[in-house]
Structure 1
Amino acid sequence: MSGLPAPGEVLHFSEDPSIHAFVPHVAATAQQPEAYVWTVDALNSPCYWFPRQCPRVCSWDASDEDQPRVHAVEERWLSTMRRTLLFAYRFDANDFAPFGERPHAHVATRPVEPLGPPVAVGDLVALHEQHGIELRVLPELEPWFTEVRERGLEFSGIRMGNAGIGPGGPFPTRR
């Protein structure tokens, strides 16, 4: 599995390989009240090659294809990232609509079924390397997130509320 959708498809990533039908719901992290089924396209799929709760900053320069895409994760999450089994569910893109002014996701407002069984994505660290994405492992994400925004790069900051918190819970504050 490449971790990317085929033409005409969108993907949903999950650590649960037993989902048979996706029903719209309001996600716990939702910033809107509508119920959706969420998927991503090829541009945004790599932002989900992480454990679900893992904070990460994904950035790229849309005006310069020669600049490598960079994903950053806190070092306290790296071992969890190496152990996580992630699955990709494939969907027909025609069943979804782009979400937002600058679409970062695609949504369905009715129940949808995947095109087939989920496929294991494989080694998440190796997947980044295979696709030429630099994976930075940092002590903390916030300084990098600030730099990415200041440089005007395209970016996605996901699960940033978990930054500074490891998979097992809070870590002591660094002094």
Structure 2
Amino acid sequence: MRPQPGEVLHFSEDPTITVFRPHVAATAQRPEAYVWAVDHGRAPDYWFPRQCPRAMAWTVPGTSAADRERILGPGGGERVHAIEYGWMERFLSVRLFAYRFSADAFRPFGEPVPHAVVASEPVEPLGPPEPVGDLLRLHRDAGIQLRVLDNLWSFWDAVTTSTLGFSGIRLRNATARDVRNPLHPPA
């Protein structure tokens, strides 16, 4: 589930939204109100239940062969997403929907590389929301590894100190770091 040319997507578990109004997100680090959406490249970041913590990594032009091998593994493709076992049932059963918008109403957001697009005015979807479908199949068909881990933190620590591109979403919902396990040092 990706946007068509000239479109952006917003993913939601709520199929009843008719108008998206700018708001300040609960996790916002800036006070501006926006409607959030994603482009083709960032759509896979949202193939998850909304509150599901996930750590993601992908190759970028400066990715070293050593980091690629260490994080992605042999035959690992270009991208990996990781979630925790505690979220797997929800991942497999969630009813997720995609709303399509004209990209004209949105502008890139994020520095140094945009990670989303935002609108400052209310926007209406181009049509009714579309069921996203089988999230596991979406990952497989896109060639994205999906890893299921007991705890995200050692993976996250490895990714954020690598030469890969990365993103973490809803990490506050992840299982706490295990202070007894040296592989999961406290934050």
What is the TM-score normalised by the length of structure 2? Answer: 0.85
Q: Does 1:92 align with 2:127?
A: no
Partner in structure 1 of residue 23 of structure 2 = 25
Q: Secondary structure at the match of 2:15?
A: coil
- Aligned AA for 2:144? I
Question: What is the deviation of 1:130?
Answer: 1.0
Letter in 2 for 1:115: L
Q: Deviations over 1:56-94 (max 9, x none)?
A: 011101227x94210000011011000000000000111
> Which position in structure 2 is the counterpart of 1:13?
11
Unaligned segments of structure 2, at least 5 residues: 64-75, 182-187
Deviates more, 1:67-76 or 1:49-58: 67-76
Report the Cα offset of residue 119 of structure 1. Answer: 0.2
Larger Rg: 2
| Paired position in structure 2 for 1:111 | 122
How big is the shift at 1:174? 7.5
Three-state SS of the structure 1 residue aligned to 2:26 is: coil
Q: Gapped runs of 5+ residues in structure 1?
A: 166-171
2:85 pairs with one of 65, 68, 75? 75
The CA distance in 1 between the partners of 2:132 and 2:180, in whole Å, is 34
CA distance in 2 between partners of 1:68 and 1:103 (Å): 19
1:96-125 Cα deviation digits (max 9, x unpaired): 000022100000000000001100000111
Residue of structure 2 in register with 1:60 after alignment: 58
Aligned-pair identity (%): 57
- Read off the aligned partner of 2:22 and give its amino acid letter: P
Partner of 1:169: none
Structure 2 letter corresponding to 1:88: A
Q: 1:162 aligns with which of 169, 173, 176?
A: 173
Question: 4+ residue runs of structure 1 moved beyond 2 angstroms?
Answer: 172-175
Distance in 2, matches of 1:68 and 1:100, equals: 22
**Aligned-partner SS, 2:19:** coil
2:55/2:169 contact within 8 Å kept: yes
Task: Deviation per CA, 1:135-165: give whole Å up to 9, x if none.
Answer: 0001100100011111121111000000117
Amino acid aligned to 1:107: V
RMSD: 1.7
Which of 10, 17, 41 is the aligned partner of 1:43?
A: 41
CA distance, structure 2, for counterparts of residue 62 and residue 10 of structure 1: 22
Q: Normalising by structure 1, report the TM-score.
A: 0.90
Helix, strand or coil at the partner of 1:107: strand
